Structure 1
Amino acid sequence: MLDDLPMVAVSADDYAWFTEQYAEIAGTCRLTLVRGRTPTEVLEQLGGSAQASPIGVRHLTEQLTPATARFAAAAAFDGWTLLVEPDRAPASESDARSSGDSESDTRASRDDEPDARASRQLSRETVLVAHSAESFLWARDGEILLQFDPADPTHRTGTDPNTLTPALNRLGFDTGEPTTAGSTDSDAGWGDAARHRERSLALAEQLTGVRITLEALEAATFSCATLPTHDEPGHPAPAGIPSAQSVAAQSVAGQSAAEARRPSARPERWDEEYDAPAEDDDWSDPDTDEPDGDTDDREWPRLLSKVRRAFT
């Protein structure tokens, strides 16, 4: 698969201008490159209705706010379309692991995120690279090849998560493997959010061959659209992207099924685990017992039960 990639010479330093000049977009937006699609085709495939006139990148920050989470803008770049939209941050994989989810559960959860579903849809019969502050995704023909959190690239999912490991190491991502002498980033595995974003931009260029420069970005004109919420009348979700209502219904059904399988609770008795001795039982050992204190030995089982309940 690496034979199909441009494999251009690029480093994170090449995109330091982006996090400096466009810090707001870098911190809050998701950038997607789709090969062989026009901006209009991409927006229409997402169910968007184009607005009257295109705008320049300097005006995007006025539109891309949390209040306009379904706003998107697209521009042509060297045979690809650059899509810019507010980032709907996914739950991080570290959060999923801390909650006790297995690796397969985490992968399934990521695959079911709205952005992942939209990326699979947009990548059908083509190639797509998308990245935000908390996610990097590479997809081809409806299949997610690689997905990871730029701040935690040791945990990568997708059908081909290891092919790009040498490129990740070279760009300074901490993959958990020894970096080679050819690494172009001296602080491999460390750095702030801006550095992670610069690495993601460099990796996107590595995969697409599309170099986004300050001059090219400021010269681009973006077609804008308001995307449906997938629950609005007359705006069904694109194929493969379930509506919020259907997702909610599935969630309720899943919870009901889980509750049905859960055994009924029964009152807990402390003496099931700590049997109180009979009054005529002598369970003390005069050779080893400590001198009597303020608490009678026969009260210890009850006290232990209270302590156990306090911490459960």
Structure 2
Amino acid sequence: MTDVHASDYIWFREEFPGLVESYCLTLVEGVSAEGLLRRLGAVQGRPVTGVDDALLAFDEFDDRADGADPALAELDEDLVAVGVTELDGWAVVVEQYGNLGITREVMAALSEGTRLVAHYRNINAVDHFYWQEGGRTRLHFEPLFAAHRDGPDAADPEVATLLAACGFDLRESDDRDYRLHIPAAFALGERLTGVRLTAEVLRTATFVIGYAPQP
């Protein structure tokens, strides 16, 4: 397990302002990008380079713009666009304005026989962090309120120590520090998976676009 801290992920807000206010990031161990799309029941679209091009593909899907993925021609409206890449033995799923990765049915399917880590925030500052193994939640909490956790590992003192080491403020008082809760979620994700995300990695990785049904 790495000793990464929230301060190592401050770049996310600066480098990807189009994602920081609403994103869902899901990591699944030992599954290929294509295999993950199959678990989602998704139609596989085209590959793109980097998160920025993935976000453009999401916009094209929403707008049905000229130049959109040819796979869109046969798809209906009740689908969600996702981008999937592979890093260090994990499939990494990026969503903007979506929450497939934290939907119970989806998490159960994605984590069957393996491990899953997902964190999410929407434009209303609703956020979640999940750690699952074999279709079951080991830990869940809202990064803004990290003192309140549920799941079999929630009360483990080592979990509290781990969260504090990542940069979460575990105090319950009104003066607790909210500023690092998003980068702290990234740091915790790295500690649990060993997958280091950087701005360069997200800008240069090949993402396969997929179009998944809503559960």
Give the alignment's TM-score, normalised by structure 2.
Answer: 0.80
Match in the other structure for 1:19:
13
* Maintained 8 Å contact 2:54/2:209: no
Q: 1:218: how far off?
A: 1.7
For 2:36, the aligned partner's letter is: V
Stretch of structure 1 that moved more, 164-173 or 54-63: 54-63
Structure 2 distance, partners of 1:37, 1:79, is 7
* Maintained 8 Å contact 1:56/1:222: yes
* Paired residue secondary structure (2:214): coil
Match in the other structure for 1:125:
113
Q: 1:215: how far off?
A: 1.9
* Maintained 8 Å contact 1:87/1:132: no
* Maintained 8 Å contact 2:102/2:119: no
Structure 2 distance, partners of 1:215, 1:88, is 23
1:23-72 superposed Cα distances (whole Å, 9 cap, x missing partner): 22122110011100000100111010011333422112224469487111
Matches of residues 73-112 of structure 1 in structure 2 within 5 Å?
73-88=83-98
1:122-156 superposed Cα distances (whole Å, 9 cap, x missing partner): 11111110001201110001110111110011221
Structure 1 distance, partners of 2:92, 2:11, is 18
1:136-190 superposed Cα distances (whole Å, 9 cap, x missing partner): 110001110111110011221122213311011122323348xxxxxxxxxx941
Of 185, 203, 221, the residue aligned with 2:188 is 203
Match in the other structure for 1:169:
164
Structure 2 distance, partners of 1:120, 1:144, is 9
* Paired residue secondary structure (1:224): strand
Matches of residues 159-238 of structure 1 in structure 2 within 5 Å?
159-163=152-156, 164-176=159-171, 189-192=176-179, 195-230=180-215
For 1:150, the aligned partner's letter is: P
* Maintained 8 Å contact 2:117/2:131: yes
* Maintained 8 Å contact 2:102/2:130: no
Q: 1:88: how far off?
A: 4.3
Give the alignment's TM-score, normalised by structure 1.
Answer: 0.56
- Structure 1 residues 40 and 84: alpha-carbon distance in aligned structure 2, compared to 1, 3 A threshold: same
Structure 1 distance, partners of 2:90, 2:203, is 17
For 1:166, the aligned partner's letter is: T
Of 146, 149, 168, the residue aligned with 1:153 is 146
The RMSD of aligned alpha carbons is 2.5
Structure 1 distance, partners of 2:119, 2:94, is 10
Match in the other structure for 2:40:
46
Can you give the 5+ residue segments of structure 1 that lack an aligned partner in the other structure?
1-6, 91-112, 178-187, 231-312
